[in-house]
Structure formats: structure tokens, C-alpha cells
């Protein structure tokens, strides 16, 4: 018996990294998964991996910053599987980089549209389906960057702080509907989004926290599985830190100022567009 038997999940940003690993894990635990991403090629790879792991899955191309796309995702879950029990708002990118005074309004808006507005849409449009089904679990990817200054680019960090606050506020409002709302705050995870996929990048991450290895997508998938399952039935409004002990030491890593971030890139979009 799987931990997610008979449950239906939507996972955004599921074409790679943490989203892909979580989709495969959910499928292996009995869930039917709607794999959502802009990257259709990667999304189809995830669907095949879900099926190979014994679960059901379909792909839906979606831009999380577009409300119509999120509504269509929920409709797809209902059409394919008849219900919605889990939404994992995971899609993201790094976004605007540079000193605060040089960040453009356009890049601020582009970053928040994906990282914060996309989470808002995911929560908003999951509510009716979950309420009809008697409850559900909404999970969003925040970050330790949203918990303290200097742990990430400025705009990214501000958006992730918004995800943490939105999670808490939504949890309070939706508790009466038996809809739980939590977020995961990863530390340094070895995925394409942060440009850490080189051996050097992994080595830097490994030295950044008390547990001397880089975080892996499965570390986040493990937490997402717990929050999606009935094992976390009395947990809502929580920001679950998964960081190898980084926050316990509270020492920043990598570039910390706007100028240092700008030396890397002015804007970092989806990883599959960086090739």
C-alpha cells in the first residue's frame, strides 16, 4: 500500500530537478500526477519515469504566471482523474539579478510573476476542487533565502519571503475546509536552477552546511511526500526547512551583494532556456 494511494496531484516545474523527483516519488506511492512545466520535452520524460515507477501521469504545458494555465491544470486533473488532493507549487527560476538600484521594474515583475503570483494562482484555483473532495494538501517551494537577508538574490529572496507569508495566511483561512497549506524552504540543492550542476558547484554546496554534502532533489521530494500524505494531517502553515543544517549555522554562502550577483547574470530564467 502506497502513502498516496488514490490521491491526485498537480506538480509544477516538474520537468526537472525537485519537481521531477517529487513527481516520480508521488507516482511510486500511488498518486496520479499531472506533470506541469513550460518545458514539454522534459515534462514528457518525467511522465515516462512516473509510469515506469508504477504510477499514472499526464503532461500539461503551463506557465504558472498565467492564471488561465493554472485553471486549465486543475481542470485537467479533474478530467483525467476526477479529483484533486495535492498541489505542489514548485515552478521557479532565479530571476532578476543585480544591485537594487539597477533592477528594472520589468525584471522585478517577471520574477514575482513566477515565484509569488504563480503560487497565489496555484493556491487559489486548487481550493474549489479540494473543498469538493473534502480537503487536500497544498505545498509550495519557498527558500531559506526568504527567511533572512543575504541568502539569495534580492528579488528572488523577497518573492520567497512572500511565499512563506502567503502560506501562513492561506493556512489560517483554509483550515476550516481541511485544506492544509505548507511550504518547503530548501537550502543549496544540486539542480539546474541555481547553475550548480558542475562538480565545482556541487562541491561549494557541500561545504556550505554542517551535513557535508549538497542537497539533492530527493531530499525535497521526501519532505513533499510527507506533507502530501496523511502523516502530516495536523501540520499546516509551516515552513519546513530542508537545508542540511545551513540555517542552524546561519552563515551565508556565495554572492551576497547585488553587485556580486550582477557579475553572474542580469536575469536568470528557466534552466532549460539557459543552454
List active site positions: 156
How far does the chain reach from its first CA to its final CA, in angstroms?
Answer: 41
Cα angle, residue 133 at apex, residues 174 and 30 outer, rounded to 5°: 110
**Nearest alpha-carbon partner for 113 in 239, 275, 255, 267:** 267
Cα angle, residue 106 at apex, residues 168 and 20 outer, rounded to 5°: 55
Helix, strand, coil content of the chain in percent (nearest 5)? 50, 15, 35
Hey, what's the cell of 124? 487559489
Asked whether 62 and 19 are in contact (CB, 8 A), the reply is no
Hey, what's the cell of 149? 537577508
Distance CA 140, CA 171 (A): 12
Q: According to DSSP H, which parts of 11-114 are helical?
A: 17-28, 40-52, 67-81, 105-112
* Dihedral pair phi/psi, residue 151, rounded to 5°: -100, 5
Asked whether 12 and 88 are in contact (CB, 8 A), the reply is yes
Asked whether 73 and 118 are in contact (CB, 8 A), the reply is no
Amino acid at each position: 500500500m502506497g502513502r498516496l494511494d488514490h490521491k491526485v496531484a498537480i506538480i509544477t516545474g516538474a520537468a526537472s530537478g525537485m519537481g521531477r523527483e517529487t513527481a516520480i516519488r508521488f507516482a511510486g506511492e500511488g498518486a496520479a500526477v499531472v506533470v506541469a512545466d513550460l518545458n514539454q520535452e522534459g515534462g514528457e520524460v518525467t511522465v515516462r519515469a512516473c509510469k515506469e515507477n508504477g504510477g499514472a501521469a499526464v503532461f500539461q504545458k503551463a506557465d504558472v504566471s498565467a492564471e488561465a494555465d493554472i485553471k486549465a491544470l486543475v481542470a485537467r486533473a479533474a478530467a483525467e482523474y476526477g479529483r484533486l488532493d495535492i498541489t505542489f507549487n514548485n515552478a521557479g527560476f532565479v530571476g532578476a539579478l543585480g544591485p537594487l538600484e539597477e533592477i528594472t521594474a520589468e525584471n522585478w515583475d517577471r520574477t514575482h510573476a513566477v515565484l509569488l503570483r504563480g503560487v497565489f494562482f496555484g493556491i487559489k484555483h486548487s481550493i474549489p476542487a479540494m473543498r469538493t473532495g473534502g480537503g487536500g494538501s497544498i505545498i509550495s517551494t519557498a527558500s531559506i533565502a526568504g527567511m533572512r537577508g543575504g541568502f539569495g538574490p534580492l528579488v528572488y529572496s523577497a518573492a520567497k519571503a512572500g511565499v512563506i507569508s502567503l502560506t501562513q495566511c492561506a493556512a489560517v483561512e483554509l483550515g476550516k475546509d481541511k485544506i492544509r497549506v505548507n511550504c518547503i524552504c530548501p537550502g543549496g540543492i544540486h539542480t539546474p536552477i541555481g547553475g550548480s550542476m558542475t562538480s565545482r558547484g556541487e562541491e561549494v554546496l557541500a561545504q556550505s552546511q554542517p551535513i557535508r554534502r549538497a542537497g539533492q532533489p530527493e531530499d525535497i521530494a521526501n519532505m513533499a511526500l510527507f506533507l502530501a500524505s496523511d502523516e502530516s494531517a495536523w501540520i499546516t502553515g509551516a515552513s519546513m526547512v530542508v537545508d542540511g543544517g545551513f540555517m542552524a549555522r546561519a552563515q551565508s554562502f556565495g554572492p551576497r551583494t547585488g553587485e556580486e550577483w550582477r557579475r553572474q547574470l542580469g536575469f536568470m530564467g528557466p534552466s532549460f532556456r539557459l543552454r
